[in-house]
Structure 1
Amino acid sequence: MKKIEIIKKIPQFPITEFRRSDAQVVLRLVTILAATHLVGKVNRVIKRIEKMEHPYDFIDLLK
């Protein structure tokens, strides 16, 4: 998620008065969601590599 997208979504939160501490909580949640999303992508790539006939050939190419 890009910075502009995050800024656009902040007013959608059901908080009447948005304080600095609220912003910190929101940014932590966004960071956790982004990390979780990245972990999901990494796991998918690992599964695809494991399904390959010769996964070590591919891994050697990355080195």
Structure 2
Amino acid sequence: MGSEVELGEGGVAGNALLPALARAPEGSIQLADGYSFRTRAEQLAGVRGRSLAQVLMAQ
């Protein structure tokens, strides 16, 4: 059974993602493997999320 995840300000983003990004220390790496979460983090919080592959390649 598939379900649609709401990533708007009133859904997952507003209730969990945005508060977590706001609490993250400056300069921390934001791991966001899903394209939609990376996009929302950038659009709503101005935070650039990275995929796991990007993080591992930077090591």
* TM-based fold match above 0.5: no
Structure ranking higher on relative contact order (CA contacts 8 Å, 6+ apart): 2
State which structure, 1 or 2, has the greater radius of gyration over its C-alpha atoms.
Answer: 1
TM-score, normalising length: structure 2:
0.30
- TM-score under structure 1 length normalisation: 0.29
